[in-house]
A = this chain, B = another copy of it.
Amino acid sequence: MRGRSDVLEPAILGLLHESPMHGYELRKRLNLVLGSFRALSYGSLYPCLKSLVERHWIEGTESVVAPHTVASKRARIVYQLTADGKEHLQQVLASSGPAAWEDENFDVRFAFFGQTDAETRLRILEGRRTRLTERLETIRQSFARTRERMDEYTLELQRHGLEQVEREVRWLDGLIDNERGLRRTRPAGTGRPTAADTPAVDDDVAPARTTEKERG
């Protein structure tokens, strides 16, 4: 029943580090960072905030805003990081163990790359790439093994899933190249990390580069 989470907690700390906020506002921002754009419920958020306060990583101050302001509602509790909280966040953001590139955590970690050092960024991106490459291998094998026995729709579902992961790998390739400063043949552009442009789908993915199994 307590709100201790592994995805939610770093996300909250990361957002509060960017700027202090009250719960209701936090929730909206959270939905963008948490990936897949699902709506986080208050039943998760407030207990988690409570638990963070108890552990002295954040503190909430009741702030009654002047009633003529644009956003002038009821007395709100604005949360901000404590010194302990900032320290803890830096520690979390510096970690680059396998947990960082698993499905549940990767999006949140990526969202706070702006507060993460370059070396850690690269390790996480490469770990993620290796993880997806392994998955690709698994899918392809089961694909080859069971292709005959499958009907049209199951086949299409798998084909589509495979394609999505392949696309994800190419996205990561672009990001990794960018991190290494090798910004290919595309000088100025939009300013965002350039994904690979090649329209081809079936290029072989590189072999695994990072080790798994160290459970940090």
| Proximity bits, A25-54, B CB within 8 Å = 1, else 0 | 000000011011110000000000000000
Cα A156 to Cα B153 with chains together (Å): 32
Instruction: Name the residue in A33, A151, A157 with the highest tally of chain B Cβ atoms < 10 Å from its Cβ.
Output: A157
Instruction: Confirm or deny: A107 has a beta carbon within 8 angstroms of a beta carbon on chain B.
Output: yes
> Would you call B37 and A139 a contact (CB within 8 A)?
yes
Cα A110 to Cα B152 with chains together (Å): 11
Chain B residues near A138: list those with CB within 8 A. Answer: 37
Chain B residues near A192: list those with CB within 8 A. Answer: 152, 155-156, 159
Copy count, this protein chain: 2
State the majority secondary structure of interface residues on A. helix
Chain B residues near A199: list those with CB within 8 A. Answer: 199
Cβ < 8 Å to B, chain A residues 167-183: 167, 171, 175
Q: How many residues of A contact B (CB 8 A)?
A: 37
> Would you call B36 and A114 a contact (CB within 8 A)?
no
Chain B residues near A152: list those with CB within 8 A. Answer: 114, 191-193
Chain B residues near A159: list those with CB within 8 A. Answer: 192
Instruction: Confirm or deny: A158 has a beta carbon within 8 angstroms of a beta carbon on chain B.
Output: yes
Chain B residues near A33: list those with CB within 8 A. Answer: 154, 157
Cα A38 to Cα B158 with chains together (Å): 13
User: Closest approach, in angstroms, between the C-beta of A66 and any C-beta of chain B?
Assistant: 22
Residue of B nearest to A159 (CB): B192
Cβ < 8 Å to B, chain A residues 101-121: 103, 107, 110-114
User: Closest approach, in angstroms, between the C-beta of A181 and any C-beta of chain B?
Assistant: 14
Checking B37, B112, B142, B153 against A135 with a beta-carbon cut-off of 8 angstroms, the contacting residue is B37
Task: List 14 A-B pairs, Cβ < 8 Å.
Answer: A32-B142, A32-B158, A33-B154, A36-B161, A37-B135, A37-B139, A37-B161, A110-B157, A111-B153, A111-B154, A112-B153, A114-B153, A159-B192, A199-B199
